[in-house]
Amino acid sequence: MEIKKDLFSPLKAWKYAFKTPVSFPMEDIKDRPRESQDNARGFHINDLSKCIGCGACAEICPTEAIVMVKRKDLEEKEGEHPERPTMDYGRCCFCAMCVDICTSGSLKMSKAYVLNTPDPQKLYVMPEESFPAPGGDILGYDKTPESDLLDLKRAEMPAVAGAQAKKSFVEILKGYSMEQARAEAARCIGCEICVKTCPANMHIPEYIDAVWQGDLAEGLAQMYKTNPLPGICGSICTHKCETVCAIGKRGEPVAIRWLKRYIVDNAPEAMYEEVLMAPVSKPGQGRVAVVGGGAAGLSASYYLRTMGYQVDLYEAKPLVGGVARYGVPAYRLPDERLNKDVELLEKIGVKFLVNTKVGQDITLDALHDQYDAVFLASGLPQSRALKLENGDHPDVRYAMPFLAAARDYQRGAGEMPDVAEKAVVIGGGNVAFDVARTILRLQQKKYGHSHVSLVSLETRDILPADLEEIEEGEAEGLHCHCGFGPQGIELFQGKIRGLNTVKCLSVFDEQRNFCPVFDPEQKGMIEGSQVYVAVGQMNEHTYFTPEHLERIALKGGKVQVDDWGQVKGAPWLFAGGDIVHGPDMIHGIADGHKAARGIDVYLQSRSETA
Amino acid sequence: MSEVKLFFGPQHPGMHGNASVHLYVEGDTVKKARLVPGMLHRGFEKSMENHTWMGNVALIPRVCVAEPDINEMVFAQGVEAIAEIDIPERAHYIRMIIMEMTRILAHMMSLGAISSPTGLYTVNHWMQADRNDMMDIFEEITGHRVYHMYIVPGGVRRELPPGIEKRILDYFTEFERRIPEYQALVFENPTILARLKDNILLPAEVVWELGVTGIGMRSAVGKPYDVRKVTPYARYDQVEFEVPVATYSDAYTRSIFKVIEIKESIRIIRQAFDMMPDGKVNVKMAAGNALKWTVPKGQTYSAVESARGEFGYYIVSDGKTQPYRIAVRGASFPQGFLGVERYMPGVRLDDAPLWYDTMGVCTPEIDR
């Protein structure tokens, strides 16, 4: 039997002669190259217009195959680097981690993974929309939500709930704990796109990294290099950095502002002194007067003082701080954090001359005589007027004086402003929301209930105010009437009955100029016995004499200066902040820093020529 | 008769990977064998210290080319143990499927490797053809054929593609139909049997002396020492499978065990697909993005059952973004390093590649 089986078994092999062979003939491989599977990790493809050059791919690449290369045809613009990734396929291991971490989602992989070439240069490429190899235009591997290597969700910020929040002026956001701050800091990829956009060019990745490492002293030092008011900025900065944050392309941007606040809140006083009170190596010679104790003035004072100049800061109000002190309500920026910033300035020897209004108590020319240079940053202390029917009624209030009075009340330095049971606020910016939410709190205190309506030309999606302001305001019970224009104030027996409105169809014309179009058919009235106007701020150039104005150029009320803040026509005078760039805190801080350097150069060149 | 020195590898069809053995031969018999490692040495263990925890996922599969997923699995398990991460249930089952598929791949490779020393290349062609189809499946799941980089700390990298269950199960139905053909080709083939039966013995004493694990140990000492049974990882305690044992270990036993293990692996995969729940496939290993993932201070030994035996990593973390130290216990280190020098002498010259293959040696595990 065995013999028989052995004898016939070779015949079994014959059946394979009629089967398809398991191996492929060479012709097949040449003519019909195998097609890869749907998910294949092949050569990269990159949508160059979508790519922002953040370099996260190069950062994570385990084989260092990716190098970011500057492209000459791309301009330096906000929100991206003019760089794009190049791949060295001699090193690449096709792990696709670059795809999984890509912030913009532009980098993907094609189905092509066969490329035979005698030219090694062809294996060092900048990926574009398709790869020059068979299958190079078909999408292979792309990331899925599970494989994403970024953390798209913010660490949650503890906050007081809306209904509770409007009962007091206690700060709403409670601030990060150490765990939360470190988790949030770990989301940053360090691409530095934010640095370019920040007016002060703050060293953002560096201090975020310091938070992540748990090194608050380093974080503090990094912040003060470009911004001496991190406490103010940590609360109320307009955070242009977060708008352009690479993580924000697909998820929630890194909470840069809150991380800054975390450092300020948690760095002890001793650390401030240790890190920031270093002696000046080569003190500057000269005396500088700073006009205005707002963000720009404080910033300039800090940097001038750290360069060794004698700095006298003139402030019209009893306390320095500007808008941060007399505008922003305490639930957004409490005095304690503001004081922390200001106290350091006092410690390093900046002299505050409060209750001294330049132009009234002392003239600008007197300052010119007494000091070597003057930095002008008087800000926009006045509210812009609004022409309305019956607009001169005493119950029509303006934002800036009201906020200042309310803020004085909050710190116990003034009477409670009289608010009516029902009020209407006109405006759609952050100031309007500050006014509205302050009234809410005052009404709550006075009457136990609140009713505030906010009327804005812009619809909710294009409101200039920050989204968090809108959301928090609505949570507190603010009635927003977005997309309506104020027409006039209706009176009844000498008292305000309400605000007549008309539907606003569009706010801007095609050239993005302010040109509201109304629909006269859609009219309405919003009830309220007080009307608050918050439609912008105005400067108050009372210190300029006619002789000054002959030499100094003003354009739309804004002082014209060069790159370093030097006023055209008056070399001894520097200006910055809101009177130059319009209302913005961080711009003011940047202006102060620039002007300090400008003044330093000016004074040194003057002493050399003298 | 004078002694002749012969180089077996690194360029040799019977050699697994880029190792070299210097054989001192008298007549037909190997008198002395000297392993020359270092052909493949890229300093994996040191490199791991210079890669981030996630970056390591791209590096470690290279420690064993034929069976890369075991590295990903031990690494992921170890990191999860130190960081005390609980991964989703579904991820356990996906991992088990991947692990068993890769075991089958590795067994196919080593069965195919019988072909070159025995002169029957058909075995290799058939095995490679089946491996090719399986690697296509891997490509669809993970994106790559050889280095999958799929099992990551926290689970697996992405969800299984739709329809993959049917593709895998169809593949195995077809593959099972062919197993009798393979058995006829290899294990009923007198020319191969003559080379395998009662040849290249592995006595129990040698197992204890060297510390051989896996098929080598189970076939020699009759004890079912299998990491999947002894300290079950993933969800191996939830599925049923047999571990074959024997007390006489020749090349034939060790080879036929691979066929039995392939069948058991298919059984595990079928059960895993039945039991697999829906849900998430991974959790984030740490807060933030992958560049800043850290693992808390700690150390652990993590092991899995590879196709060649117990495969383990000793991982030490000092709380930073990169491991402080990782040491690899290669499954084939005992037999592939000491065993070659001590027990290869005595075999016939033409059996040297068979010795290397059936003992279960994967060179990169030694050169790491």
- Mean pLDDT in order along chain B per 10 residues (368 residues): 85 80 93 89 90 94 90 96 96 96 93 86 89 93 93 94 95 93 87 91 94 94 93 94 94 94 96 95 92 95 94 95 94 90 92 89 84
The three-state (H, E, C) secondary structure of A352-378, written as one string:
EECCCCECCCECHHHHHHHCCEEEECC
| Spatial CA neighbour of A200 closest among A223, A184, A232, A216 | A223
Residue B287 has its nearest CB partner, among A37, A140, A183, at: A183
Domain A287-369+539-609 has CATH 3.50.50.60: yes
Query: Given an 8 Å threshold on Cβ–Cβ distance, is B143 in contact with A187?
Result: no
Please, which residues 116-145 of chain A have a Cβ atom closer than 8 Å to chain B?
140-141, 144
- Chain B residues with CB-CB distance to A39 below 8 A: 139-143, 161
The HSE-up count of residue B145 (CA atoms within 13 Å, CB side) is 12
List the beta bridge partners of residue A304: none
User: Is the CB of residue A369 less than 8 Å away from at least one CB of chain B?
Assistant: no
Query: Given an 8 Å threshold on Cβ–Cβ distance, is B144 in contact with A41?
Result: yes
Q: Classify A265 in phi/psi space as left (phi over 0), alpha (psi -120 to 50) or beta.
A: alpha
| Closest approach of B249 to chain A, Cα-based (Å) | 26
Give DSSP secondary structure letters for A265-329: HHS-HHHHHHHH-PPPSSPPP-EEEEE--SHHHHHHHHHHHHTT-EEEEE-SSSSS-THHHHTS-
Interface test with A, best of B47, B127, B285, B292 (most A CBs within 10 A): B292
Query: Given an 8 Å threshold on Cβ–Cβ distance, is A39 in contact with B143?
Result: yes
- Chain A residues with CB-CB distance to B54 below 8 A: 60, 97, 149
Residue A51 CB neighbours (<10 A): 22
pLDDT of residue A607: 75
The contact set of B with A (CB < 8 A) is 51-52, 54-59, 125-126, 128-130, 136, 139-144, 147, 149, 155, 157-159, 161, 184, 190, 280-282, 284, 286-293
Residue A270, φ and ψ in degrees, nearest 5: -60, -35
Query: Given an 8 Å threshold on Cβ–Cβ distance, is A187 in contact with B140?
Result: no
Q: Which of the listed CATH numbers 3.30.950.10, 3.20.20.140, 3.30.450.20, 3.30.70.3270 matches domain A30-125? A: 3.30.70.3270
Residue B290 has its nearest CB partner, among A63, A101, A183, at: A101
Helix or strand or coil: residue A96? coil
Is the backbone peptide bond immediately before A516 cis, with ω within 30 degrees of 0?
no
pLDDT of residue B209: 94
Which residue of chain A comes nearest to B138, CA vs CA? Answer: A37
The pair of three-digit structure tokens given for residue A501, joined into one six-digit string? 């409105």
* CATH class label, A382-537: alpha beta
Which alpha helices (H) appear in B84-203, and where do they start and end?
A: 89-112, 115-118, 121-142, 164-186, 190-196
Query: Given an 8 Å threshold on Cβ–Cβ distance, is B289 in contact with A150?
Result: yes
Which residues have a Cβ under 8 Å from the Cβ of A394 and sit 6 or more positions away? Answer: none
Helix or strand or coil: residue A486? strand
Please, which residues 178-237 of chain A have a Cβ atom closer than 8 Å to chain B?
182-183, 185-190, 212
Give DSSP secondary structure letters for A497-522: EEEEEEEEEEEE-TTS-EEEEEEEEE
- Chain A residues with CB-CB distance to B291 below 8 A: 56, 59-60, 101, 189-190
Is there a shared CATH topology between the A287-369+539-609 domain and the A382-537 domain? yes
Interface test with B, best of A12, A24, A39, A142 (most B CBs within 10 A): A39
The pair of three-digit structure tokens given for residue A84, joined into one six-digit string? 């794009």
| Closest approach of A476 to chain B, Cα-based (Å) | 32
Which residues have a Cβ under 8 Å from the Cβ of B226 and sit 6 or more positions away? Answer: B218, B243, B305
| Closest approach of A77 to chain B, Cα-based (Å) | 25
The pair of three-digit structure tokens given for residue B86, joined into one six-digit string? 């609980």
Interface test with B, best of A23, A151, A211, A252 (most B CBs within 10 A): A151
- Chain B residues with CB-CB distance to A93 below 8 A: 58, 147
Residue B287, φ and ψ in degrees, nearest 5: -75, 150
**d(Cα A192, Cα B224) in Å, to the nearest integer?**
57
**d(Cα A523, Cα A458) in Å, to the nearest integer?**
16
Query: Given an 8 Å threshold on Cβ–Cβ distance, is A189 in contact with B54?
Result: no
Helix or strand or coil: residue B113? coil
Query: Given an 8 Å threshold on Cβ–Cβ distance, is B290 in contact with A39?
Result: no
**d(Cα A457, Cα A473) in Å, to the nearest integer?**
17
**d(Cα A578, Cα A583) in Å, to the nearest integer?**
5
**d(Cα A212, Cα A592) in Å, to the nearest integer?**
29
- Chain A residues with CB-CB distance to B292 below 8 A: 186-188, 212
**Residue A592: C-alpha distances to residues A43, A301, A354, B322 (Å):** 49, 8, 19, 42
Domain boundaries, given as residue ranges, for chain B: 43-329
ipTM reported for the complex, 2 dp? 0.91
The three-state (H, E, C) secondary structure of A554-609, written as one string:
EECCEECECCCCEECCCCCEEECCHHHHCCCHHHHHHHHHHHHHHHHHHHHHHHHH
Query: Given an 8 Å threshold on Cβ–Cβ distance, is B143 in contact with A101?
Result: no
The HSE-up count of residue B224 (CA atoms within 13 Å, CB side) is 9
The H-or-E segment that residue A223 falls in is helix A216-224
**d(Cα B328, Cα B72) in Å, to the nearest integer?**
12
Query: Given an 8 Å threshold on Cβ–Cβ distance, is B159 in contact with A37?
Result: no
| Closest approach of A454 to chain B, Cα-based (Å) | 39
| Closest approach of A39 to chain B, Cα-based (Å) | 5
Q: Which CATH code is given to the segment(s) B43-329?
A: 1.10.645.10
- Chain B residues with CB-CB distance to A15 below 8 A: none
Please, which residues 24-63 of chain A have a Cβ atom closer than 8 Å to chain B?
36-41, 56, 59-60, 62-63
**Residue A66: C-alpha distances to residues A91, A495, A608 (Å):** 9, 71, 50
Interface test with B, best of A146, A182, A213 (most B CBs within 10 A): A146
**d(Cα B278, Cα B300) in Å, to the nearest integer?**
30
Name the residue with tokens 């150039």.
Answer: A541
**d(Cα A498, Cα A386) in Å, to the nearest integer?**
16
Residue A40 has its nearest CB partner, among B55, B143, B155, at: B143
Pairing mode, strands A66-70 and B155-156? unpaired
Query: Given an 8 Å threshold on Cβ–Cβ distance, is B129 in contact with A38?
Result: no
| Spatial CA neighbour of B359 closest among B311, B307, B313 | B307
- Chain A residues with CB-CB distance to B142 below 8 A: 39
**d(Cα A485, Cα A522) in Å, to the nearest integer?**
11
Which residues have a Cβ under 8 Å from the Cβ of A24 and sit 6 or more positions away? Answer: none
**d(Cα B179, Cα B187) in Å, to the nearest integer?**
11
Which residues in chain A come in under a pLDDT of 50? Answer: none
Query: Given an 8 Å threshold on Cβ–Cβ distance, is B158 in contact with A147?
Result: yes
Which residue of chain A comes nearest to B320, CA vs CA? Answer: A213
Q: Which of the listed CATH numbers 3.40.50.150, 3.30.230.10, 1.10.1060.10, 1.10.20.10 matches domain A178-276? A: 1.10.1060.10
Domain boundaries, given as residue ranges, for chain A: 30-125, 178-276, 287-369+539-609, 382-537
The burial class, CB within 10 Å (0-12 / 13-18 / 19+), for A401 is middle
Residue A406, φ and ψ in degrees, nearest 5: -65, -40
Interface A-B: count of C-beta contacts within 8 A: 109
Query: Given an 8 Å threshold on Cβ–Cβ distance, is A186 in contact with B136?
Result: no
